[in-house]
Chain A
Amino acid sequence: MQDHVEDNGANMISLPSYLFLSFIMFIAGLVVMVARKNIIAILLGVELILNSAALNFAAYTRFINQNLEGNIMSLFIIVIAAAEAAVGLAIVIRFFQLKESVHIDDATQLQA
Chain B
Amino acid sequence: MSPTLYDYVNQFEAHQKAVAMLNEFFGTDVTGYVTFLVFLVGALIVVGVMATIGGLGTYAERKISADIQMRQGPNRVGPFGILQFLADGVKMILKEDIYPAQADRLLFNLAPMLAIVGVLATLAVVPFSSGLTLANLNVGVFFLVGISSLVGVAVFLGGYSANSKWSMLGGMRGASQIISYEVPITITTLTIVLLSGGLSFGAFVETQGGLPHQWYIFHNPFTFIGFFVFFIGMLAETNRAPFDLPEAESELVSGYHTEYTGMRFGLFALAEYIEIFVLCGVAVAAFLGGYKVPFDLGSGVIFVEKLGLPAIIGKNIGQVLQLGSFVTKTLALYYVVIWVRWTYPRIRVDQVMTICWKYLTPLALFNLVGVTVWMYLTHNQSIWELFSHLFAAAGSGGGH
Residues on A lying within 8 angstroms of B by beta carbon are 1-5
Contacts and interface: CB of A to CB of B under 8 A. Distances in A.
Contacts of A3: 10, 16, 31
Contact of A1 (B7, B16, B29): B7
B7 A4 contact: no
Interface in B11-39: 16, 29, 31-32, 35
A9 to B, nearest CB: 14
Contacts of B35: 4
13 contacts: A1-B7, A2-B6, A2-B7, A2-B10, A3-B10, A3-B16, A3-B31, A4-B29, A4-B31, A4-B32, A4-B35, A5-B29, A5-B31
Given A2-B6, A4-B29, 11 more contacts: A1-B7, A2-B7, A2-B10, A3-B10, A3-B16, A3-B31, A4-B31, A4-B32, A4-B35, A5-B29, A5-B31
A2 B35 CA distance: 11
Contacts of A5: 29, 31
A94 B6 CA distance: 53
Nearest to A4: B31
Most buried by B among A1, A3, A4, A5: A4
Interface residues of B, number: 8
Q: Secondary structure at chain A's binding surface: helix, strand, loop or mixed?
A: loop
B2 to A, nearest CB: 10
A5 B30 CA distance: 11
Contacts of A4: 29, 31-32, 35
Contacts of A2: 6-7, 10
Contacts of A1: 7
B13 to A, nearest CB: 13
Nearest to B20: A3
A93 B3 CA distance: 47
A81 to B, nearest CB: 15
Contacts of B7: 1-2
Nearest to B2: A1
A2 B10 CA distance: 8
A24 to B, nearest CB: 23
A5 to B, nearest CB: 7
Contacts of B29: 4-5
A4 B7 CA distance: 11
A1 B136 CA distance: 14
B133 to A, nearest CB: 15
Nearest to A1: B7
Nearest to B3: A1
A1 B10 CA distance: 10
B257 to A, nearest CB: 27
A3 B11 CA distance: 11
A94 to B, nearest CB: 19
A29 B190 CA distance: 35
A3 B143 CA distance: 27
A64 B7 CA distance: 32
A64 to B, nearest CB: 23
Contacts of B32: 4
A2 to B, nearest CB: 7
Nearest to B16: A3
A1 B35 CA distance: 14
A3 B31 CA distance: 9
B378 to A, nearest CB: 31
A3 B15 CA distance: 12
A5 B10 CA distance: 14
A4 B30 CA distance: 9
A45 to B, nearest CB: 20
- Kindly list the 8 A-B residue pairs having the minimum CB-CB distance in the complex, ordered from nearest: A4-B31, A5-B29, A4-B29, A2-B7, A4-B32, A1-B7, A2-B10, A3-B10
A69 B29 CA distance: 36
A4 B31 CA distance: 6
Interface string B30-58: 01100100000000000000000000000
A2 B3 CA distance: 11
Nearest to A7: B32
Nearest to A5: B29
A1 B7 CA distance: 8
